[in-house]
Amino acid sequence: MSMPGIFSYEKLVVKVGCGKCRPNDFSECHILLCLQQPEQQTLSDAVSSIGYQLDEQIKIVVGHGTTHVACTVDLCVLTMYEGEKCILKTKCSALGEEFITLEVTLLSFIAASELYSTSYKDKLWRAVTLKELGTSTYAAGNVSAAFQKFSRSLKYLTCATADKSIPSSVGSDALPNGTCSSDSHHTTLLDNCDASYLNVCDLTCEDIDKLMCHCLLNLAACQLRYNNYKLAAVNCSKALDIDPNNVKGLYRRAQCNMQTGNEHAAVEDLERALALQPESREITRLLSTARQLTRKTDDKLAAAMSKMFQ
């Protein structure tokens, strides 16, 4: 099996699992990881970049990997049955363009509730958990993993806002591989969730809007790191639709516009940002650069127009 995308990998099943169910997002899984490659001289770099303990049984929550390799392992686990063993080959950021090969065994799992049957409270709780994980992951320099966390956080926030009522707790339906229990009883998740957000029932509509705005701007920050200026500008605009006076959104959109030839739009955003935060040296410096670029663009346009009427 070959999976394309940011977290691309190749998977070869060496032992078939059993049952009819696979883990889903937020499932608690017991797995065993063993490193097959690379060579010994690059072993320490590879191990440190994996993000999961090797050669011993570990418990993970699917989707909570905080490195590129760990996210890839999580996605691979989503395709596995209980007892299955596979060989996973993927790129390792610590080794540049080189590949890393892992043996992954799914020992057991407890499935989480599916999105369609997840309560309003747990949708918010998942969103907050992922947002906090994304923030810490980005700070650690794992941009691709952070991007995944913020994207998934937005998914849960969007679903939560579409569900204004708060239904009763999701029932515990027995599954062949375990119990589907409410996420709010998931101790592993509680350990990763910021204490200020634990009582998600207290979140107001304004709080949820702020969370969506933060996630959109954090997505834009990740895209800027990969020079994806057009999509970063789109996410900044979505954030500004929620909060028109968000200085960070104005600043980042201006950065994008300057890179895509929209210097005049950048000047407008930066002038607005400076009016909101006049003491900012960063905004002042970027505004000066943007104005210089607009003058050069205007001069070139004026010269071209004068030639047309000669």
The pLDDT, as a whole number, for residue 204 is: 83
CATH 1.10.10.10 is held by the domain 224-310: no
Say whether 81 sits in a helix, a strand or coil: coil
In whole angstroms, what is the distance from residue 247 CA to residue 243 CA?
9
Cβ neighbours of 196 (radius 10 Å): 9
pLDDT tens for 219-253 read: 999 999 999 999 999 999 999 999 999 999 999 99
For strands 28-37 and 99-110, give the pairing.
antiparallel
User: Would you list the domain boundaries of the chain?
Assistant: 2-112, 224-310
CATH 3.30.910.10 is right for the domain spanning 2-112: no
- pLDDT tens digits, residue range 72-96? 999 999 999 999 999 999 887 644 5
Question: Do 134 and 146 form a contact (C-beta atoms < 8 A)?
Answer: yes
Sign of the CA dihedral 132, 136, 138, 139? positive
Task: Look at residue 199 in the predicted model and tell me its pLDDT.
Answer: 67
Tell me, what's the pLDDT at 45?
61
Q: Across all residues in the chain, what is the average pLDDT?
A: 84
Global pTM value: 0.82
Decide if 71 contacts 40 (C-beta within 8 A): no
